[in-house]
């Protein structure tokens, strides 16, 4: 029997089941701990997703313990509400707190997994791994800053972008083991890394046990109960519930979804209802558009905690995703919401142009060009007119696909083979 390892996972933006946001780091940390390893997940006490601070006093950190898993919430400052200088300072604050607190935590790590993007934290984690003589794994979730360049959000010569490129170069030079949730990130690494290295694609996993629900379960969260009631009310009217759960920002074209709702309204279609759940800097603009156009079919909801997502999705009829037409997707995408929709058995409208299209792969819905409200509206009408059994079959194929290829328990064992090797 292999001895247990002390594994540190560092991601400032990691979430837990009681906090909205991405769960990848928590899911793998929990899975590693269930395999008998001692795992520490380092995250900020300030949630990037809900903009909430869990440490209300001046304590530098708090620790939550769940069996072999410790979650360390580091106090960071200042709070931020959009991608500005305050977020930059908050990232620096986390890196400093990580470096300082790592000296007081025992036992020392055998392995450190640092998530990128969280560039300053990854830099600190790399230095900490050298201090402890620990194996260092850089886990690439987004290709910062390349994604911003290709989205034309920043000039290549913007000071922040120059700093990020310098950090990327530093980390890539010192990393021998790369993991990425993007299936074709190795193509990017071949352009950037001249030495030999190991690369392993580990996508986001899904815990299928979370989706084995029956009935309209109640929740302690008023928002969740309100969403469940709204879904139930629309279904009783005979309407088709279309759902979006995720960020409402630059990467996701939620504006195209509400524009599709406007097109359907103008066509006199009244049997499709939209439920948009999430937050982001584009949300106020979306709410204004909905109000200005009197889109009664669209309901906007605040973000919900992770453990409530499966219950919400199980009571919708169609999931929708709309992305920018961004060339960065040649390296693939890794969308939590697509795994969630499939695990919930939802047929999907996927408005995107990506290299790894799971909707097409598993025949789990309809793919249309990116950022096209007219085609979203047409696809929704097609879903509405088809027999419910056909929609159910699409959803079932997606569910079978993620059960076969994206079960978190299987993926965690694959990840551990790399860590233990």
pLDDT of residue 2: 65
pLDDT of residue 157: 87
pLDDT of residue 342: 96
Average pLDDT over residues 344-361: 96
pLDDT at 380 over 60: yes
Span 365-377, pLDDT tens digits:
999 999 999 999 9
Span 392-416, pLDDT tens digits:
999 999 999 999 999 999 999 999 9
pLDDT at 1 over 70: no
**In the chain, % of residues over pLDDT 70:** 97
Q: Best-predicted range by mean pLDDT among 116-120, 151-155, 333-337?
A: 333-337
Domains of the chain in sequence order: 6-205+407-420 (3.40.50.2000), 208-405 (3.40.50.2000)
pLDDT of residue 218: 46
Look at 152 and 315; give whichever has higher pLDDT. 315
The answer to whether the CB of 244 falls within 8 A of the CB of 275 is yes
Tell me the pLDDT band of 214, cut-offs 50, 70 and 90: very low
Average pLDDT over residues 209-225: 66
Tell me the pLDDT band of 221, cut-offs 50, 70 and 90: low
Residue showing tokens 């292999």: 2
How far is residue 156's CA from residue 165's CA, in Å, rounded to a whole number?
9
Q: Best-predicted range by mean pLDDT among 22-26, 249-253, 254-258?
A: 254-258
pLDDT of residue 194: 74
Tell me the pLDDT band of 213, cut-offs 50, 70 and 90: low
């Amino acid at each position: 029997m292999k001895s247990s390892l002390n594994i540190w996972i560092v991601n400032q933006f990691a979430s837990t089941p009681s906090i909205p946001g991405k769960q990848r780091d928590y899911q793998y940390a929990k899975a590693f701990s269930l395999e008998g390893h001692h795992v520490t997940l380092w995250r900020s006490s300030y949630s990037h997703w809900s903009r909430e601070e869990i440490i209300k006093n001046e304590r530098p950190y708090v620790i939550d313990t769940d069996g072999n898993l410790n979650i360390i919430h580091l106090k960071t400052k200042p709070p931020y509400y959009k991608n500005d200088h305050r977020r930059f300072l908050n990232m620096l604050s986390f890196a400093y707190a990580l470096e300082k607190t790592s000296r007081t935590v025992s036992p020392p790590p055998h392995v450190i997994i640092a998530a990128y993007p969280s560039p300053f934290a990854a830099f600190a984690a790399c230095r900490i791994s050298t201090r402890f003589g620990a194996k260092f794994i850089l886990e690439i979730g987004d290709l910062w800053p390349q994604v911003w360049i290709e989205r034309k959000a920043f000039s290549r010569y913007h000071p922040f972008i120059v700093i990020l490129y310098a950090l990327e170069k530093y980390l890539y030079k010192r990393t021998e083991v790369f993991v990425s949730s993007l299936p074709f990130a190795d193509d990017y690494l071949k352009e950037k890394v001249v030495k030999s290295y190991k690369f392993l694609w580990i996508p986001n996993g899904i815990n299928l046990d979370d989706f084995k629900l029956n009935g309209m379960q109640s929740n302690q969260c008023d928002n969740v109960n309100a969403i469940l009631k709204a879904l139930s009310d629309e279904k009783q009217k005979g309407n088709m519930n279309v759902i979006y759960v995720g960020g409402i920002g630059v990467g996701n074209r939620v504006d195209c979804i509400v524009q599709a709702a406007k097109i359907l309204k103008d066509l006199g279609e009244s049997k499709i209802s939209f439920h948009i759940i999430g937050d982001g800097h584009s949300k106020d603009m979306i709410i204004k558009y909905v109000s200005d156009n009197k889109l009664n079919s669209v309901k906007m909801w605040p973000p919900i905690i992770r453990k409530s997502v499966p219950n919400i999705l199980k009571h919708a009829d169609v999931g929708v995703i709309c992305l920018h037409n961004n060339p960065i997707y040649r390296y693939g995408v890794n969308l939590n919401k697509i795994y969630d929709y499939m695990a919930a058995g939802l047929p999907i409208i996927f408005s995107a142009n990506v290299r790894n299209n799971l909707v097409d792969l598993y025949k789990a819905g309809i793919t249309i060009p990116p950022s096209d409200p007219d085609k979203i509206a047409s696809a929704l009408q097609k879903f509405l007119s088809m027999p419910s059994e056909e929609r159910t079959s699409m959803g079932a194929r997606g569910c079978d696909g993620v059960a076969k290829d994206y079960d978190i328990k299987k993926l965690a064992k694959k990840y551990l083979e790399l860590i233990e090797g």
